[in-house]
């Protein structure tokens, strides 16, 4: 691997323990709209982690015949915003230590997420993590295609001004791993709720927590 110049973080499930909270919101919105999805909470983990809301709706259409509905998107976003005000996500173990370490090496740092910028700002504020660490935020509205398409990570590298081979991605989901791998960026997997074993093989390394990323990076700064 070449010299590391930038580290790109996925958001939900990678930096914050928020995917379980997202699944709770999804389940409640399904009930409120009268959609009959068996075990919607676990369906979210199987099919929606790492996906943009419009992609989630397409998968709902494929699996359950539910037509795309703007009311779902609006209700889901509004409910999630209110939910996080009283149910704040927590920063994942080792996040601040890793961010401080990366900054100490004068590397560029980005967020590349399927979430919208307002949701990223809200969750980070509630988790007590400053956005001042990050040089670039590529949210779900910044690209035409979302993960697992490579465009989000390609865009992050382009905006950062780094070659994908000189970046590292931190991911927790199968969609994210596929996206980064297709963009030509080495991926460190930090598992959260569920990753397909075949997809996991695409990762450069797998670690249990973010603080364990530090020793992996130390060899690639010179």
The predicted structure's pLDDT at residue 81: 84
Write down the pLDDT at residue 1.
57
CA distance 222 to 56: 42
CA gap 162, 154 in Å, rounded:
10
Is residue 172 within 8 A of residue 189, CB to CB? The reply is yes
In the chain, what are the domains? 6-17+90-220 (3.40.50.1000), 19-86 (1.10.150.240)
Instruction: Kindly report the pTM of this predicted structure.
Output: 0.88
Question: Alpha-carbon distance 188 to 169, whole Å?
Answer: 6
pLDDT in tens, 130-187: 999 999 999 999 999 988 999 999 999 999 999 999 999 999 988 899 999 999 999 9
Contacts of 84 (CB under 8 A, 6+ apart): 21, 122, 123, 126
Alpha-carbon separation of residue 1 from 6, 12, 184 (angstroms): 13, 27, 11
Which residues fall within 8 angstroms of residue 117, CB to CB, at 6 or more apart? 137, 139, 141
Res 220 pLDDT > 70:
no
| CA–CA separation, 200 and 197 (whole Å) | 5
12 versus 48: which is more confidently predicted?
12
pLDDT interval class at 15 (50, 70, 90): very high
């Amino acid at each position: 691997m070449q010299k590391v110049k930038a580290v790109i973080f996925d958001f939900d499930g990678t930096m914050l323990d928020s995917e379980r909270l997202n699944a709770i919101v999804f389940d409640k919105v399904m009930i409120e709209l009268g959609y009959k999805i068996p075990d919607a909470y676990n369906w979210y983990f199987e099919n929606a982690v790492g996906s943009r809301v419009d992609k989630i709706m397409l998968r709902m259409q494929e699996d359950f015949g539910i037509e795309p509905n703007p009311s779902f998107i609006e209700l889901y976003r509004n409910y999630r915003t209110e939910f996080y005000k009283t149910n704040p996500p927590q920063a994942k173990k080792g996040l601040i230590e890793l961010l401080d370490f990366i900054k100490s090496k004068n590397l560029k740092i980005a967020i590349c997420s399927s979430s919208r910028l307002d949701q990223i700002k809200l969750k980070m504020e509630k988790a007590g993590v400053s956005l001042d660490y990050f040089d670039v935020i590529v949210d779900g509205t910044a690209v035409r295609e979302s993960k697992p398409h490579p465009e989000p990570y390609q865009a992050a590298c382009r905006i950062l001004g780094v070659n994908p081979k000189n970046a590292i991605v931190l991911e927790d989901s199968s969609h994210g791993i596929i996206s980064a791998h297709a963009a030509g960026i080495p991926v460190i997997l930090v598992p959260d709720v569920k990753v397909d074993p075949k997809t996991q093989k695409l990762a450069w390394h797998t670690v249990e927590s973010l603080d364990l990323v530090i020793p992996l990076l130390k060899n690639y700064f010179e």
